[in-house]
Amino acid sequence: MALVERIKNICLKPSAEWPVIAEESTSTRDLVIGYVVPLAAIGPVATFIGNSVIGRSVPFIGSYRVPMVSGLSMAVFSYVMAMVGVFIISLIINALAPTFGGEKNSAQSLKLAVYSFTPGWIAGVLHILTSLSLLALIAGLYGLYLLYLGLPRLMKCPPEKAVGYTVVAALCAIVLTALLSAAGGMVGRAGMMGSGGLSGLPNRGPSASVQFDKDSPLGKLQEMGKALAENNKKMEIAQKSGNPAAQAAAAMQGLGAILGGGKHVDPVGIDQLKPFIPTTFAGLAKTSSNAEKTGVAGFMVSKAEASYSDRAQKNITLEISDAGGATGLLGLAGWASVQGEREDENGFERTGKQDGRLVHEKGSKHGGNNEFTVVLGDRFVVSAKGRGIDLGDIKSAVASLDLAKLEAMKGEGVQK
């Protein structure tokens, strides 16, 4: 089938198109060359144009343009990884099939992965403009819907198990995307180093093994890689055993290692977070509160929050979260390195480090909401948002909490 016709059908008439795809005997070579190669290039090319030709506008920083060498390096890397990524996702889909009552079939799983990526690849053109990037994300989410519709047809799983199958596969895709994005950032930095954009990293011979600071983003990524290498050994053992349940468990452990930054992190219980929620906050009485610990095995987070009000014009919400299983991603988050400030006629925002902690504050000049957030130990996030209360009072209220005690708990639940 012609490329344009297939794109139109899978995006607009997926329920009718999946049965057609299921019966096709397209070779891997034809599928890759005729479909993946042209479509996977759209996003990297658009991003290169947006980053290095048009330029970007970043909150707090202003306008910037990525150097051509760095931009081209990231584009080539992203293009290659887009093609590699779809193969990895197809392998995961195939490996999980028996767990959800399906049938393993590598050819069908590859077709399923490739065609489910179609909306995201097509919408990659929107990355030319930052303001349109959200639409590209929505297109990617539509790809999950295509995956949900295709699983029963191509992998023969019972329809009632398609939701769970989709969720696990989606988690794998999200984590894989995050990891590849982090690796892409490393490639971009390497390109900038080549053009004089960065300095200060270890200067060693080509055969030397570079060890980054374990507390730096690159160091965290390095530790993550070591953990995945160990997990790969478990995956090999599980595959040799022929036990689908063991294979799925090993895969989930690998994802947990990625999200935890090379470690498995179980968030603290809600009973440990609730004591940090006071009965009065910023001089206001507590009107409601709740706490929860949610997620799936290896990807748990916990949160406690409360609302305070004087029943008139003042109100404030306090939220304390433990990133738990996503601690690694929080530590690697790109925004953590952004520092600056912005101000206009409506208000201001500031992001930076205070006492070694990342903080973000936002103030209104017209009586709107004021916000203050602080990240503790790359794990706990304390956020307060209030109306009718000065930003200074909100900051003082947050400072009155026992932040040191909360930060000291960053090692709890961490398993190597």
Q: Render pLDDT for 341-351 as a digit per residue (tens, 0 to 9).
A: 778 888 888 87
Res 181 pLDDT > 70:
no
- 62 within some domain: yes
The answer to whether the CB of 369 falls within 8 A of the CB of 387 is yes
Do 179 and 286 fall into the same domain?
no
Give 39's contacts (C-beta < 8 A, 6+ positions apart).
7, 117, 118, 121, 122
Average pLDDT value for residue range 333-354: 69
Hey, how many other C-beta atoms are within 10 angstroms of the C-beta on 371?
19
The answer to whether the CB of 370 falls within 8 A of the CB of 389 is yes
- 246 within some domain: no
* End position of a domain, from candidates 163, 178, 200: 200
* Integer angstrom CA distances of residue 39 from 17, 29, 31, 79, 128: 18, 15, 11, 10, 16
Do 281 and 196 fall into the same domain?
no
Do 17 and 100 fall into the same domain?
yes
The answer to whether the CB of 72 falls within 8 A of the CB of 52 is yes
Q: Please tell me the distance from the alpha carbon of residue 324 to that of residue 384, in angstroms, as a whole number.
A: 20
Q: Please tell me the distance from the alpha carbon of residue 333 to that of residue 411, in angstroms, as a whole number.
A: 19
Res 339 pLDDT > 50:
yes
pLDDT band at 196 (very low <50, low <70, confident <90, very high): very low
Average pLDDT value for residue range 109-137: 79
Res 164 pLDDT > 80:
yes
* Interval 228-241: pLDDT, tens: 555 555 555 665 66
- pLDDT score recorded for residue 16: 92
The answer to whether the CB of 182 falls within 8 A of the CB of 212 is no
Do 179 and 275 fall into the same domain?
no
Do 184 and 284 fall into the same domain?
no
Provide the 3-class DSSP secondary structure of residue 307: strand
pLDDT band at 205 (very low <50, low <70, confident <90, very high): very low
Q: Please tell me the distance from the alpha carbon of residue 150 to that of residue 198, in angstroms, as a whole number.
A: 45
Nearest CA-CA partner of 215 in 354, 332, 382: 332
- 215 within some domain: no
Res 412 pLDDT > 70:
yes
- 262 within some domain: no
DSSP conformation class of 325: G
Do 152 and 288 fall into the same domain?
no
Do 307 and 186 fall into the same domain?
no
Do 281 and 195 fall into the same domain?
no
What domain range is 303 assigned to? Answer: 270-415
- pLDDT score recorded for residue 168: 80
Do 194 and 297 fall into the same domain?
no
- 331 within some domain: yes
Hey, how many other C-beta atoms are within 10 angstroms of the C-beta on 360?
17
Residue 117 vs residue 208, higher pLDDT: 117
- 158 within some domain: yes
- pLDDT score recorded for residue 124: 82
Residue 269 vs residue 73, higher pLDDT: 269
pLDDT band at 190 (very low <50, low <70, confident <90, very high): very low
* End position of a domain, from candidates 140, 171, 200: 200
Res 40 pLDDT > 80:
yes
Alpha helices in 195-322 (DSSP H): 217-241, 244-259, 270-273
**What's the residue count for the chain?**
416
Angle at 288 between CA 282 and CA 291, to 5 degrees: 100
The answer to whether the CB of 228 falls within 8 A of the CB of 261 is no
* End position of a domain, from candidates 175, 200, 225: 200
Angle at 281 between CA 276 and CA 285, to 5 degrees: 115
Res 38 pLDDT > 70:
yes
- 276 within some domain: yes
What kind and span of H or E run contains 362?
strand 357-364
- 59 within some domain: yes
Backbone dihedral angles phi then psi of residue 302, each to the nearest 5 degrees: -130, 155
Average pLDDT value for residue range 267-272: 91
Angle at 88 between CA 100 and CA 38, to 5 degrees: 120
Angle at 299 between CA 137 and CA 213, to 5 degrees: 85
**Alpha carbon distance, N-terminus to C-terminus of the chain:** 50
- pLDDT score recorded for residue 313: 85
Which of 145-149, 203-207, 334-338 shows the lowest mean pLDDT across its residues? 203-207
In the predicted model, what is the mean pLDDT of the chain? 75
Domain count, the chain: 2
Q: Please tell me the distance from the alpha carbon of residue 151 to that of residue 412, in angstroms, as a whole number.
A: 39
Res 34 pLDDT > 50:
yes
